Structure 1
Amino acid sequence: MRVLCGLWFSLRRLSDVSSLGTFRRPLSSDAMRLVQFCRKGNEGEIRVGVEHEQGHGVIDLKAFDPSMPPTMRGFLELGQKGMDCAQRALSSDQCIVPHSDIRLLSPVTGPDKVVCVGMNYKDHCLEQNAPIPTEPIIFSKFPSAITGPYDDIMLPNKTQKVDWEVELAFVIGQKGKHIKEEEALSYVAGFTVANDVSARDWQMEKNGKQWLLGKTFDTFCPLGPALVTTAALKDVHHLGVRCLVNGGVVQDSNTNQLIFKTEKLIAWVSQFATLYPGDVFLTGTPPGVGVFRKPPVFLKRGDVVECQIDEIGSIRNTVV
């Protein structure tokens, strides 16, 4: 297998030379599902892969092309060169690792920033009898909150009111500042599923009611299972969004309820901060969160939370 991968790389090497260097043009990608993974028994070695179209496994990009970096952030920093390599790998049917041999990680780890949007679903605002925002409400999580699509959510002893929030997330694919709304989608590497786990007591009662601490405990940002390119989605702003707790549906909405869509969020945030490859945006949650139920419901040890978005996939995390 290594010989075949090496031969393929050698044959393609010359065609890659022209794409070396810093990427500055709009990102172009075909329909792909990109992942970060590690092989079972070798958890310390992160790899970037692309899911095989027939579901046979994941193509290891570094095995296919040894010049590929080991992390998704490094891969995205290559710009079009990385996307072209992933597409060639997908077409090659080489270097496939079976699903049974890998553990899926968060599609992105160690981003420069995690940008979150509050009150961004019309039906979520109605749930709270809150006015529709006229400008995006922005807060953040620390990158250390990110965890994998099937990893445990750790219930801290500092909080008694941990809640779920299914969210559409997207990842930036190239550096940008003052991005125009009509060009914003070209800066997106892909979309994924997120759970904006929230400690409501720290968000709404403690610490001056600042949101940050309640949002950024370790493991409070499960992401995955894959980074799905825009070309693989029919309409990212018309996708079913659901959250299940212990098998029961608690949130059920659609991304057509988003107040500020992907393009607006990128243009808005890039006025204030430079966006970098690998930056993660969480776009807000629909109604059905625990804190607004009567009576309120919060997560406890042993609960299983599953977040689903049509065409993208689902993540499933156990509270421990």
Structure 2
Amino acid sequence: MKFVRFGAAGQEKPGVIDANGRVRDLSGHITDISGETLASAAFKALRELDIDTLPDAGSADELRLGPCVTGMNKIICCGLNEKSHAEEMNVRMHKEPSVFFKPLSALSGPYDPIVYPKVGQQLDWEAELAIVVGTECKYVDPSEARSKMAGFCVFNDLTDRYWQIERGMGQALAGKWFDTFAPVGPWLVTPDEVGDPSALQIRTWVNDRKVQDFPSSDYIFDADRILAHCSQFFTLYPGDIIAMGSGPGNGIYLGQYLNPGDTIRVEIEGLGQQKNLVVAEQ
């Protein structure tokens, strides 16, 4: 199933995409696509619904879609977890996943504007596959990790390279923190529909120029290993997002950064496409 949250910011309703690309309203069955509901019996019962009998909210192309999940405890990101990107960075591949966090205030919808901060200087993109945790868990074995996932979604780990690198504040710090720097969605796609998360193509376009095109099979640590690794250090809660890292083709290596007026698209096959306009902070 492909779950969405639709409506005005802060007033989103839960929905599911039908075979014709229309949003079917789930408000009569759950209150939201959130950490609280993902682990509920009501959410699990959605699998038995006849989607075509649900209220038709309209075409997904004509509705505002919010982040495909809300009410999470944390946004977890993995750095340098893709072979070609690690080579591009001229760094040795890590023996264990490298993990950092983004604030929840960075969360943004898949079609919402990306706000270029007043102090921003070098805004870069990082298309990534993301896991959405479906159940509270800790000390998970990789062989059991898939059962702890609610699904997968598209994630863009936007970064200001000036604050990340030139100011010497470190990868996990200020360059990652800005508002709207974590667009999520459009869909939360359940594992059964995704199939093999290591067999997906991840692509990015800036102003219709393709800048990233890499397979999820190039991840050094796959989805099962990443979730299991994170669970060794902190409890994972339903709704938590784990972004798995980006591939080659970032702006820092192309000599091109995002500016107000630019449009960026990020797509993962089977998980949908984001499209965001960069706007100057007012």
Normalising by structure 2, report the TM-score.
0.94
Amino acid at match of 1:53: A
The residue correspondences of 1:70-219 to structure 2 (distance < 5 A) are 70-78=32-40, 80-84=41-45, 86-91=46-51, 93-99=53-59, 102-206=63-167, 208-219=169-180
Mapped to 2, the partners of 1:189 and 1:43 lie a distance apart of 23
1:302 aligns with 2:261: yes
For the residues of structure 2 that align with 1:90 and 1:277, how far apart are their CA atoms? 25
Which residue number corresponds to residue 3 of structure 2?
A: 34
Q: CA offsets, 1:134-163, max 9 Å, x none?
A: 110101100110100000000012121110
- Deviation, 1:190, is 0.6
Q: Secondary structure at the match of 2:179?
A: coil
Residue 233 to residue 70, structure 1, CA distance change in 2 (3 Å): closer
Kindly indicate whether the alpha-carbon contact (under 8 Å) linking 1:149 and 1:222 is maintained by their aligned counterparts in 2: yes
Provide the residue aligned with 2:24 in structure 1: 59
- Judged with a 3 Å threshold, the aligned counterparts in structure 2 of structure 1 residues 43 and 222 are, in CA distance, closer, same or farther, namely closer
Point out where structure 1 has 5 or more consecutive residues left out of the alignment: 1-31
Cα RMSD between the aligned structures? Answer: 1.6
In 2, distance between residues paired with 1:163 and 1:72?
Answer: 29
Larger Rg: 1
Give 5+ residue unaligned stretches, structure 2: none
Structure 1 residues 94, 109: CA separation in 2 closer, same or farther (over 3 Å shift)? closer
1:48 — aligned with what? Answer: 14
Decide which moves more: 242-251 or 105-114: 105-114
Q: C-alpha separation between the residues in 1 aligned to 2:42 and 2:10?
A: 26
Tell whether the 8 Å contact from 2:38 to 2:134 is kept in structure 1 after alignment: yes
Residue-by-residue CA offset, 1:46-92 (whole Å, 9 max, x unaligned): 2111111232x2221123x3xx22342232131x43121x2233445
- 2: distance between equivalents of 1:169 and 1:90? 28
Shift in Å at residue 110 of structure 1? Answer: 3.6
Q: What is the TM-score normalised by the length of structure 1?
A: 0.83
Q: Is the 8 A contact 2:34 2:72 kept in 1?
A: no
Identity %: 38
Q: Aligned-pair distance for 1:282? A: 0.5
Among 256, 277, 280, the alignment partner of 2:241 is 280
Bigger shift: 220-229 or 103-112? Answer: 103-112
Q: CA separation in 2, counterparts of 1:90 and 1:303?
A: 41
2:31 matched to which residue of 1? 69
Q: What is the CA–CA distance in structure 1 between the aligned matches of 2:91 and 2:205, rounded to whole Å?
A: 25
Moved over 4 A (4+): none
